[in-house]
Amino acid sequence: MDGTDVHIPKTKLIHWPLIVLRIAMLMVGSLIIMMLYMLFIGIEKVLPRLKVTAILANLWGRLGLFVTGLKLEVVGKHMKHGGALVANHSTWLDIFTFHSAAHISFVSKSEVRSWPVIGFMARVTGTLFIERRARLAKAHQQALLERLDKGDQLCFFPEGTSTDGRHILEFKSTLFSVFHTEELIDHVWVQPATATYFSPKGQAEDFYGWYGKMGFSEHILAVMAYSRGGRIRVTLHDPVKASDFVTRKDLAKYCEKVVRAGFAKDLGVDVSEVSR
Side chain identity at 208, as an amino acid letter? Y
pLDDT tens digits along 162-212: 999 999 999 999 888 888 888 778 888 999 999 999 999 999 999 999 998
* Separation CA 180–CA 185 (nearest Å): 5
Contact 107, 175 (CB under 8 A): yes
Contact 90, 163 (CB under 8 A): yes
* pTM of the entire predicted model: 0.89
Confidence grade of residue 3 (pLDDT, cut at 50, 70, 90) = very low
Exposed/middle/buried for 81, CB within 10 Å: 0-12, 13-18, 19+? exposed
Query: How confident is the prediction for the chain on average, in pLDDT?
Result: 89
* Separation CA 67–CA 63 (nearest Å): 6
pLDDT tens digits along 58-85: 999 999 999 999 999 999 999 987 789 9
DSSP H helical ranges for the chain: 16-46, 52-67, 94-101, 118-124, 137-149, 216-226, 248-267
Per-residue b or e along 100-120, where b marks 16 or more CB atoms closer than 10 Å to that residue's CB: bbbbbbbbbbeebeebebbbe
pLDDT tens digits along 120-154: 778 777 788 877 666 666 776 777 777 777 778 88
8-state DSSP, 275 = B
